[in-house]
């Protein structure tokens, strides 16, 4: 987590903390008040995911109060820089540890999972299981497909789900993670697969979200609903 990102997050959280001694003193009636609460809530969740769950809300409020009131700051700039550097180091160490743990757990999971009946391991290392068979056509890398999916970590935690949203999505076969590119081309329309995707065929060391630790094995329940007509796909993309 970069220093400016941390500072910006703290500043946003402080907007709803400044001058508030307790939750009962805050009114959430006007759009501005509700939006202020939403900013604080979202940034608070983000900070917690970054390992900043010990942030002192009273100190945050004091800082914003001094700044708005143009009071003399209670800490020198070099003290603040040192404090941010310490938090940055702690965050990096935490992420490194999570990445190492995810890598170790993922390798063990795939090794054991590959021994299960019905699980097929391809040359790339992708593992898949056919949940529901069908005789529909198979997509090519150049196709746009309609799918329903639910993505989980190996501990079962759901990080994304079109099923929960109640709306399938259209996507280009070649425009997704490598594990999906390969898996989709194995499927027939109407089939349901469970994909077990090694980290190198997913996001690798570059996590797209705090909900997905770096080097994570991803598990997807994937249903191929259809292959879009190329002309219609172009029309939809132009809208």
Tens of pLDDT, residue by residue over 98-128, are 889 999 999 999 999 999 999 999 999 999 9
> Mean pLDDT, to the nearest integer, of 193-221?
93
Strand partners, 197: 218
pTM beyond cutoff 0.85: no
pLDDT the model gives residue 27: 83
Residue 176's pLDDT band, with cuts at 50, 70 and 90, is very high
pLDDT the model gives residue 46: 73
**For residue 4, how many C-alpha atoms fall within 13 Å in the half-sphere facing its CB?**
0
Topology of domain 106-237, per CATH? Answer: Chitinase A; domain 3 (3.10.50)
Backbone φ, ψ for residue 143 (5° rounding): -85, 160
* For residue 215, pLDDT beyond 80: yes
Confirm if 168 and 145 have CB atoms less than 8 A apart: no
Q: What is the pLDDT of residues 51-79, one digit of tens each?
A: 666 777 778 778 777 877 888 889 898 99
> Mean pLDDT, to the nearest integer, of 199-228?
92
Q: What is the pLDDT of residues 9-56, one digit of tens each?
A: 544 444 444 444 444 477 888 988 888 778 767 767 776 766 666 777
Confirm if 13 and 5 have CB atoms less than 8 A apart: no
Q: Which residues are catalytic?
A: 149, 159-160, 177, 203, 220
The better pLDDT of the pair 43, 89 is held by 89
Ranges of each domain in the chain: 106-237
Tokens of 5: 């990102």
> Mean pLDDT, to the nearest integer, of 1-6?
45
Distance of CA 114 to the CA centre of its chain: 26
> Mean pLDDT, to the nearest integer, of 207-217?
87
DSSP letters spanning the chain: --HHHHHHHHHHHHHHHTT-SSGGG----SHHHHHHHHHHHHHHHHHHHTT-TT--HHHHHHHHHHHHTTPPPSS-HHHHHHHHHHHHHHHHHHHHHHHHHHHHHHHHHHHHHTTSTTEEE-TTS-EEEEEE----PPP-TT-EEEEEEEEEETTS-EEEEHHHHT--EEEEGGGS-HHHHHHHHH--TT-EEEEEE-GGGTTTT--SSTTS-TT--EEEEEEEEEE--HHHHHHHHH-
The better pLDDT of the pair 100, 5 is held by 100
Backbone φ, ψ for residue 115 (5° rounding): -85, -10
pLDDT the model gives residue 136: 94
The better pLDDT of the pair 51, 139 is held by 139
pLDDT the model gives residue 233: 52
Q: What is the pLDDT of residues 188-205, one digit of tens each?
A: 999 999 999 999 999 998
């Amino acid at each position: 987590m970069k220093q400016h990102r941390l500072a910006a997050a703290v500043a946003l959280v402080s907007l709803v903390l400044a001058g508030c001694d307790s939750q009962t003193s805050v009114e959430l009636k006007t759009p501005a008040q509700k939006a202020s609460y939403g900013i604080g809530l979202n940034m608070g969740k983000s900070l917690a995911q970054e390992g900043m769950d010990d942030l002192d809300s009273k100190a945050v409020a004091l800082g914003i109060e001094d700044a708005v009131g143009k009071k003399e700051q209670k800490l020198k700039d070099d003290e603040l820089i040192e404090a941010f550097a310490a938090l940055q180091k702690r965050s990096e160490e935490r992420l490194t540890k999570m990445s190492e743990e995810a890598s170790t757990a993922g390798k063990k999971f795939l090794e054991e999972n590959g021994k299960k009946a019905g699980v097929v391991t391809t040359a790339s290392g992708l593992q898949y299981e056919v949940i529901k068979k069908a005789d529909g056509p198979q997509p090519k890398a150049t196709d746009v497909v309609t799918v329903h999916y639910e993505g989980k970590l190996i501990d079962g935690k759901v990080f994304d789900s079109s099923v929960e949203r109640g709306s399938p999505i259209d996507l280009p076969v070649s425009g997704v993670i490598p594990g999906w590119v390969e898996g989709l081309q194995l499927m027939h329309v109407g089939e349901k697969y469970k994909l077990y995707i090694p980290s190198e065929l997913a996001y690798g060391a570059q996590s797209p979200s705090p909900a997905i630790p770096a080097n994570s094995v991803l598990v997807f329940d994937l249903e191929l609903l259809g292959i879009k007509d190329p002309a219609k796909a172009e029309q939809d993309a132009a809208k």
